[in-house]
Structure 1
Amino acid sequence: MRTRAAAATAALLLAALTACGSSGGDDGSKPAAKPEPSASRSSSPSVDCTDTSLSQAEWTEHCGDGSGTGGDGTAGTQELAWGKPARTTGARNPFGGQPGGGELEVTPTTVVYQRTAMGYTAANGVYAIITVRDKATGSMDATESARIEGGGWQWIAPDGQALDDGENDASSITPDGFTSGGMVRAGSWEWDTIAFDLTEAQRGGTIAYTDGSGATFKWKVPPTDTGPELAALKKGMEGNY
């Protein structure tokens, strides 16, 4: 009985060894490992929405819904680092009916905080005065969108309060060399200035610009005087007032 059982066991072992050998190939090598499932990938390539070489069409397709680099998930909203340009759509209904709906690259570059500026004193405590570089990058003239058409600039304080630019006497702060504004001719750029009347606690907020298509762009503003145009901006506000 024991001899028969031992023979049966040996036969089973031989069959198992034969099966293992055949699965590994005639040369006895081990079978190739089953490849791990690959991680899911996006069906479209990643797009850097801060890349200034993107066309308006590319930006709208990949970034306009907040899905691109820097997007915060809110439809039509894009967050950018201070000093980085935003590719925007110009005003759809520019003041005076002039053309201005082309592509406009908008870049806040420098901020100065002052209690008094050009003969005016901030009603709330301090002015935040910001230089903005507007460049018409397409083949059409372009103009910044205005608050009257649902666009333009706002300051969003750390506590969430939103303030329009130019409130109180801030609209009268017009530093020499930084007040071109208006329509920007295709292929050229101009300086503009935006100013906000803030409390001291509202320093270091966020500025938001809404363009002619309804897209919004945001920049976190440094809480102290910062930027390459610092000296020129302060000089532009000098004088006897």
Structure 2
Amino acid sequence: MRKNLLAAAAVVTAVGCLALTACNDDDAKSGGTRPSQSATGKPATSPATPQSTVPSVPTASGGGPKGAALAFGESSRTVGAGTVGILEITPATVVYVRAAGRVTPQHGTFAVVTLLEKSLSANPADEESPAKGGGWRWVAADGQSVPAGNGNAAKVVLEKYRHSGGIAPGASQVRAKIFDLTPAQARGGTIVYTDGTKSDDRWKVPAVDTGPQVAEVKQQLKP
């Protein structure tokens, strides 16, 4: 189902481009020029112009079986909230801390994951909300599943990554998801995103601080 929706979103974008091309062609024809004629008075023929084709949109960059986890830092394309638009998600950084400002984790460790999210379609795209069956969760090595914002994680605020709502076409944002984990759960794991079609994207998370924003995230977490 998700593949069909991604393809449909690509068609909407491509149709707008084709319509614009057609309008430009009509304007050129209205400029008063006529087709050239041969000596016999018949219009000269010109080579046929191949029709434009609509490019297909890959659903993910990973080539593994359905449900297989991508490497941390690898991008995946998914359907936007309400099945509108195409959202590309790339986990960028993970940081493990035992306190975030004056907030301490209920279970022992905060895992902060930053995500680069980009809208690739002609419509704004956003994450599907947990209220509609979407959103993020952390799956530990033993299979335990923890939703984002659990425990005291919802009390942690990183101003630089505090974004919500639809992302404009072609624009991108860096957002953060925070999990309140036990020390055992914080030894690496898998983050899972569920979109509006109930399809999952998975990424393996390193067990140590990793990514280009580690220092920046730690700065944001200072009291």
When normalised by structure 2's length, the TM-score is 0.71
Q: CA RMSD in A?
A: 2.1
Distance 1:170 1:70 in 2: 32
Q: 1:47: which partner in 2?
A: none
Structure 2 equivalent of residue 26 of structure 1: none
- 2:113 corresponding residue in structure 1: 130
- Check 1:185–1:58 CA distance in 2 against 1; reply closer, same or farther (3 A cut): closer
> Which SS does the other structure have where 2:169 is aligned?
coil
Bigger radius of gyration, 1 or 2?
1
Q: TM-score scaled by structure 1? A: 0.66
Residue 189 of structure 2 aligns with which residue? Answer: 205
Q: Given residue 228 of structure 1, which amino acid in structure 2 is its aligned partner?
A: P
Secondary structure of the residue that 1:116 maps to in structure 2? coil
Instruction: Give ranges in structure 1 of 5+ residues lacking alignment.
Output: 1-54, 94-100
Higher relative contact order (CA 8 A, sep 6+): 2
Q: Name the SS of the counterpart of 2:131 in structure 1.
A: helix
Distance 1:145 1:188 in 2: 18
> Shift of residue 78 of structure 1?
4.7
Cα distance in 2 for residues equivalent to 1:78 and 1:158: 15
Deviation at 1:56, TM superposition (A): 9.5
SS in 1 for 2:73: coil
For structure 2, the residue ranges without an aligned partner over 5 or more in a row are 1-53
Q: Does structure 1 retain, via aligned residues, the 8 Å contact 2:138–2:189?
A: yes
Deviations 1:162-190 (A, max 9, x none): 11000122012221311113221111001
Match of 2:71 among 60, 81, 89: 81
Deviations 1:39-71 (A, max 9, x none): xxxxxxxxxxxxxxxx995335xx6xxxx7122
| Aligned length in residues | 169
Matches within 5 A, 1:1-241: 58-60=57-59, 69-71=63-65, 73=66, 77-92=67-82, 101-203=84-186, 204-239=188-223
Say if 1:91 and 1:114 are closer, same or farther in 2 by CA, change over 3 A: same
